[in-house]
A and B are shown apart, each in its own frame.
Chain A
Amino acid sequence: MQNDEQQNTCAMCGKKINKPKKQVLVEKIDDANYIFDSEDCALIFKKFRSLYGNSFS
């Protein structure tokens, strides 16, 4: 799960997300919410999570 400090950064690429809250891509993965810069980042994150397990975050 992302902490307060990480809440404005993409969980995958680590870039700051400067979008209005409504436009931010939020995905629930293993009961935790993650925010992403793009669909692409979300997909790659899920692949890494599937490969490396829950320790990948």
Chain B
Amino acid sequence: MTKCIAFHSYKGGTGKTTIACNFAAALVKKGYKVFLLDLDVSAPSIQAYFEKAPKRWVNDFLINEADVEDLATDLTDVVFEHEKKNDSSLNENSKNGKLWVGFCNPKKEEIYKIEGGKEEISKMQLLRKFILLREQLISEFGVDYIIIDTSPGIRYWSINALAVADILFLTLKMGDLDIDGTKKMADDIYGSLTRFGAKSYLILNRVAGFCAPHIITKSLSENNTSVLVQQESNVNDRISKTVGMDVISAIPCYCDIQFSRKEFLTVLKHPDHPFADQIKRLSEDAQVKV
């Protein structure tokens, strides 16, 4: 049975796309067939992330100008290229893994068309094409997972993505929180969907306290070096209670990722990196398993 997982956030810049791409790659490494779909319609970035030129875009499918086969770019080689270089743990099962990506067109004219600007295509027709896309990814590609990267906030396409998803991951960036906005969105949108069986979880990203200056860690007693982490854990609990959703993953802030010129699939390039380990654990969570 296919699981559809949507990565969403209240605000932009939470690391949603980075986590979604790494999460998709981690599942492929495990031998799953994954379709990563860019539905951050107003600010698509997955094409820039992979630096690949698709034959056709998701936009073309939605406005009846392409078939599902044309929008799917097979990037399985990208995963296994790194696997061969970095990871000796490649087993027979891993080899079954497949990664297809559906890229969203960043051109303003194309964004306008699927935001309802092309009058001959109604919003309902666009929505039905989207439902058909999901159906065809399942029936024609036999995918285990559809991973959707959505636009932040309450927007037409992000709501549509959330509505077809089985699991909703709401990504929050620590240090730049808008708890009130997030809570309102969680109540309004997520509440409507969990009533019908969808599951929703918080992913806390860039959690501080893991790379504190030596002068701070030194001031802590020898047996109490995890105080900062403990303090963050308390914050996580508070956020979870306030927003009313469980935290499924709290990803520490890693400067080498946050400030790198371009992070690219850390889960493949640096499989021993603690970020990769965190993503791996998320991909193995019981709630995520197909």
Query: Across the interface, which residues of A come within 8 angstroms of B132, CB to CB?
Result: 13
B241 CB-CB contact with A under 8 Å: no
Asked if A43 and B131 sit within 8 Å, CB to CB, the answer is no
Within the complex, the shortest CB–CB distance from B146 to chain A, in Å, comes to 13
Within the complex, the shortest CB–CB distance from B102 to chain A, in Å, comes to 19
Chain B interface category by residue count: 10 to 19
Query: Across the interface, which residues of B come within 8 angstroms of A51, CB to CB?
Result: 159, 163, 189, 192-193
Asked if A50 and B193 sit within 8 Å, CB to CB, the answer is yes
Asked if A43 and B128 sit within 8 Å, CB to CB, the answer is no
Query: Across the interface, which residues of B come within 8 angstroms of A46, CB to CB?
Result: 196
Asked if B193 and A14 sit within 8 Å, CB to CB, the answer is no
Residue of B nearest to A42 (CB): B196
A33-56: which have CB < 8 Å to B? Answer: 41, 43-44, 46-48, 50-51
Residue of A nearest to B192 (CB): A50
Residue of B nearest to A14 (CB): B128
B198 CB-CB contact with A under 8 Å: yes
Chain A interface category by residue count: 10 to 19
A13 to B138, CA, bound (A): 15
A41 to B196, CA, bound (A): 12
A47 to B128, CA, bound (A): 14
Asked if A13 and B193 sit within 8 Å, CB to CB, the answer is no
A51 to B198, CA, bound (A): 13
Within the complex, the shortest CB–CB distance from A19 to chain B, in Å, comes to 17
Within the complex, the shortest CB–CB distance from A3 to chain B, in Å, comes to 15
Secondary structure type dominating chain B contacts: helix
B109-129: which have CB < 8 Å to A? Answer: 124, 127-128
Query: Across the interface, which residues of B come within 8 angstroms of A50, CB to CB?
Result: 192-193, 195-196
B65 CB-CB contact with A under 8 Å: no
B197 CB-CB contact with A under 8 Å: yes
A21 to B94, CA, bound (A): 45
A47 to B127, CA, bound (A): 13
Within the complex, the shortest CB–CB distance from A44 to chain B, in Å, comes to 6
Within the complex, the shortest CB–CB distance from A22 to chain B, in Å, comes to 24
Residue of B nearest to A48 (CB): B163
Q: Which residues of B contact A (CB under 8 A)?
A: 124, 127-128, 131-132, 135, 159, 163-164, 189, 192-193, 195-198
Could you list 28 examples of A-B contacts with CB < 8 Å?
A: A12-B128, A13-B128, A13-B131, A13-B132, A14-B124, A14-B128, A41-B131, A43-B196, A43-B197, A44-B131, A44-B163, A44-B164, A46-B196, A47-B163, A47-B192, A47-B193, A47-B196, A47-B198, A48-B127, A48-B163, A50-B192, A50-B193, A50-B195, A50-B196, A51-B159, A51-B163, A51-B189, A51-B192
Since A44-B131, A44-B163 are in contact, a sample of 20 more A-B pairs with Cβ atoms closer than 8 Å, ordered by chain A residue number, is: A12-B131, A13-B132, A13-B135, A14-B128, A41-B131, A43-B196, A43-B197, A44-B164, A46-B196, A47-B163, A47-B193, A47-B198, A48-B127, A50-B193, A50-B195, A50-B196, A51-B159, A51-B189, A51-B192, A51-B193
Which 8 interchain pairs have the tightest Cβ spacing?
A50-B192, A47-B163, A14-B128, A51-B192, A13-B131, A47-B196, A48-B163, A46-B196
